[in-house]
């Protein structure tokens, strides 16, 4: 009989699902991805068919194993990471969805959120959840489903329906309905979870009118919460042993295990999380406080902030301005000049998030002269992305009262060497990119491997983690402050 030595990570994202097979030495044996439908019933509404998502998992898992030449009997565990706030509702009797899932991007509950804010509920919600009242999170999405799907509220109160984020749905299906579970990181994104007590909060459930009978059991991020059962693509008995929301999984996948360590994931936006340790601190800068993970009895918390525009700024260079033909050309164009001159770009194409929180801000170029070239504009756009990350880091350092030793980076745009070097320059600390940037899937695999003995502890993971590139600051302090002064002046005008 072959030894159980591999971890299967299921990374369920907004536009597609990825399966990654990892060995105990952190070698990636296979990686496959598959996209699925995006559903837009009305402007501002976004949905997913849970059956579409499940179909990608059922297809990818056996193909990933086959690509690696690994049998299912060699799997030690399965880890799940997921798009976090997307909200599903299905029948407990047969696991069938009663409606499409409402995606984190969906804004259909904006009016409901505004009513709660106007009623003065923001402070109480913030104190208990670390979050703001916003359609982004799951509570008002779930309330909408209960109020708009025929008979849903009565069935939920009778215990006949299951609510869950995508991790919960996948665990349910993988275990044949035996496990209605989520982990603390996903629970902390619902507006229903008290992050200080680490449990569902009765007062929050009452505020959002959510019956307790519909909620999943909250488990640690690294523990066996169920085993596979009744599947036609996997045998019974494989442990589901790691669950974490995508950004928290990336923080764990970057081995940011100590207080003050942070990672930034560069996608359409830039998502920055800092490990703040065992105490859920409150932010004075408008940052979110979230649960990072729970291992054993130890809960770890994080500050979270995001820049709305990162990779999207490069897409705008390509599609909006026509300055480049592909995203990869942004670095080449930017390197045609030695610096951006005095050109500054504020990427407020959809407003500014933390720590500025100015929804009415708009994108802005400043410092343009007759000598300005396409290269200057491209370089300024890349630098504008980094300036936003700088502001988030500064806010986190201030709120956590902890200096950042270095910044771990991942995501597609982290491959841009110019972008990463300027980030190190403007932060004044090293920027480190891992050898393999599949950090979200790695995080889920690490959590599952810890629970099943593939790795004995976090120290073993850190030892196996491999650095890919390191960008050390090269800009002197005076030049850095001059650049930051120009940025701050531009932000005031945006």
pLDDT reported for residue 350: 73
**One domain for residues 188 and 265:** no
Last residue of a domain, one of 247, 274, 304: 247
Answer yes or no: is 155 within a domain: yes
User: Which tokens belong to 61?
Assistant: 């898992």
Closest CA to 446 of 254, 184, 186: 254
Give the Cβ contact number of residue 403 at 10 Å: 9
Residue 440 CA to residue 255 CA, distance in Å, equals: 11
User: Which tokens belong to 450?
Assistant: 């810890």
**One domain for residues 430 and 355:** yes
The answer to whether the CB of 201 falls within 8 A of the CB of 193 is: yes
Residue 440 CA to residue 81 CA, distance in Å, equals: 7
CATH number of the domain to which 61 belongs:
3.30.420.40
Residue 121 CA to residue 132 CA, distance in Å, equals: 10
The answer to whether the CB of 471 falls within 8 A of the CB of 430 is: yes
Domain that holds residue 157: 6-247
**One domain for residues 29 and 106:** yes
Answer yes or no: is 124 within a domain: yes
User: Which tokens belong to 17?
Assistant: 């699902």
Last residue of a domain, one of 226, 247, 268: 247
**One domain for residues 311 and 338:** yes
**One domain for residues 309 and 180:** no
Answer yes or no: is 470 within a domain: yes
Cα angle 144-145-149, degrees, rounded to a multiple of 5: 120
pLDDT of 150-209, one tens digit each? 999 999 999 999 999 999 999 999 999 999 999 999 999 999 999 999 999 999 999 999
**One domain for residues 101 and 211:** yes
Alpha carbon of residue 192 to chain centroid: 19
Answer yes or no: is 317 within a domain: yes
Answer yes or no: is 151 within a domain: yes
The answer to whether the CB of 242 falls within 8 A of the CB of 446 is: yes
pLDDT reported for residue 427: 96
**One domain for residues 241 and 344:** no
The answer to whether the CB of 193 falls within 8 A of the CB of 187 is: yes
Split into its structural domains, the chain has a count of 2
Answer yes or no: is 228 within a domain: yes
How far from 371 is each of 334, 368, 375, 376, 380, CA to CA, in Å?
15, 8, 11, 9, 14
**One domain for residues 423 and 484:** yes
3-class SS letters over the chain: CCCCCEEEEEEECCCEEEEEEEECCCCEEEEEEEECCCECCCCCCCEECHHHHHHHHHHHHHHHHHHHCCCHHHEEEEEEEECCCCEEEEECCCCCECCCEECCCCCCCHHHHHHHHHCCCHHHHHHHHCCCCCCCCHHHHHHHHHHHCCCHHHHHHCCCEEEECHHHHHHHHHCCCCCCEEEHHHHCCCCCEECCCCEECHHHHHHHCCCHHHCCEEECCEEEEEECCCCCCCCCCCEEEEEEEHHHHHHHHCCCCCCCCEEEEECCCEEEEEEEECCCCCCCCCCEEEEEEEECCEEEEEEEEEECCCHHHHHHHHHCCCCCCCCCHHHHHHCCCCCCCCCEEECCECEECCCCCECCCCCEEECCCCCCCHHHHHHHHHHHHHHHHHHHHHHHHHHHCCCCCCEEEECHHHHCHHHHHHHHHHHCCCEEEECCCCHHHHHHHHHHHHHHCCCCCHHHHHHHCCEEEEECCCCCHHHHHHHHHHHHHHHHHC
Residue 216 CA to residue 165 CA, distance in Å, equals: 10
**One domain for residues 402 and 484:** yes
Q: What residue has token string 């918390």?
A: 301
Total-model pTM:
0.90
* Block mean pLDDT (10 aa), the chain, length 494: 80 91 88 90 90 97 95 94 94 94 89 93 94 90 96 95 97 96 96 95 96 96 96 95 95 94 88 94 90 95 87 82 82 88 86 76 88 89 92 93 93 87 95 86 94 88 82 94 93 86
pLDDT of 46-83, one tens digit each? 899 999 999 999 999 999 999 999 999 899 999 999 99
**One domain for residues 427 and 403:** yes
Closest CA to 10 of 450, 465, 447: 447
**One domain for residues 205 and 331:** no
Q: Which residues pair with 113 in a beta bridge?
A: none
Last residue of a domain, one of 223, 247, 271: 247
Residue 143 CA to residue 396 CA, distance in Å, equals: 32
Closest CA to 381 of 329, 346, 336, 423: 346
Answer yes or no: is 1 within a domain: no
Answer yes or no: is 393 within a domain: yes
pLDDT reported for residue 1: 43
**One domain for residues 241 and 262:** no
pLDDT reported for residue 464: 76
């Amino acid at each position: 009989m072959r030894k159980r030595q591999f971890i299967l990570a299921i990374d369920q994202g907004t536009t597609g699902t990825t399966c990654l097979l990892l060995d105990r030495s952190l070698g990636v044996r296979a990686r496959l991805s598959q996209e699925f439908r995006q559903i837009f019933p009305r402007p501002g509404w976004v949905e997913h068919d849970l059956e579409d998502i499940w179909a990608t998992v059922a297809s990818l898992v056996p193909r990933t194993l086959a690509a690696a030449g690994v049998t299912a009997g060699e799997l030690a565990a399965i880890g799940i990471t997921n798009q976090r706030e997307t909200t599903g509702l299905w029948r407990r009797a047969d696991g069938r969805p009663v409606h499409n899932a409402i995606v984190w991007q969906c804004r259909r509950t904006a009016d409901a959120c505004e009513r709660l804010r106007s009623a003065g509920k923001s402070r109480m919600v913030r104190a208990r959840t670390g979050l703001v009242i916003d359609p982004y999170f799951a509570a008002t999405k779930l309330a909408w489903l209960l109020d708009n799907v025929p008979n849903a509220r009565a069935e939920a109160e009778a215990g006949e329906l299951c609510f869950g984020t995508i991790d919960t749905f996948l665990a349910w299906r993988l275990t044949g309905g035996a496990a209605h579970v989520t982990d603390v990181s996903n629970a902390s994104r619902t507006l229903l979870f008290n992050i200080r007590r680490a449990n569902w909060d009765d007062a929050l459930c009452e505020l959002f009118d959510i019956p307790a009978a519909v909620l999943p059991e909250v488990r640690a991020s690294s523990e066996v919460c169920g085993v596979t059962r009744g599947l036609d693509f996997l045998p019974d008995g494989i442990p589901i042993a790691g669950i974490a929301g995508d950004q928290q999984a990336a923080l764990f996948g970057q081995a940011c295990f100590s207080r003050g360590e942070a990672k930034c994931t560069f996608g359409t936006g830039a998502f920055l999380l800092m490990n703040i340790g065992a105490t859920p601190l409150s932010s004075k800068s408008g940052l979110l406080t979230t649960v990072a993970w729970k291992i054993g009895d130890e809960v770890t918390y994080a500050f979270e902030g995001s820049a709305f525009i990162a990779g999207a700024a490069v897409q705008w260079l390509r599609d909006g301005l026509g300055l480049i033909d592909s995203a990869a050309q942004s670095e080449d164009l930017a390197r045609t000049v030695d610096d951006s001159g005095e050109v500054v770009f504020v990427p407020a194409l959809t407003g500014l998030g933390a720590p500025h929180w100015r929804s009415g801000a708009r994108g802005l170029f400043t410092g343009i002269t007759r000598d300005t070239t396409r290269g200057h504009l491209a370089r300024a756009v890349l630098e504008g992305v980094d300036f936003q990350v700088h502001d988030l880091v500064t806010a986190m350092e201030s709120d956590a009262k902890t200096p950042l030793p270095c910044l771990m980076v991942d995501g597609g745009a982290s491959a841009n060497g110019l972008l990463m070097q300027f980030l190190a320059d403007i932060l004044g600390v090293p920027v480190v990119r891992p050898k393999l940037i599949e950090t979200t899937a790695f995080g889920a695999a690490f959590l599952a491997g810890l629970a099943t003995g593939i790795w004995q502890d976090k120290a073993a993971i850190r030892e196996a983690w491999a650095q890919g590139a390191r960008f050390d600051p090269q800009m002197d302090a005076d030049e850095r402050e001059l650049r930051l002064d120009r940025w701050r002046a531009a932000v005031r005008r945006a």
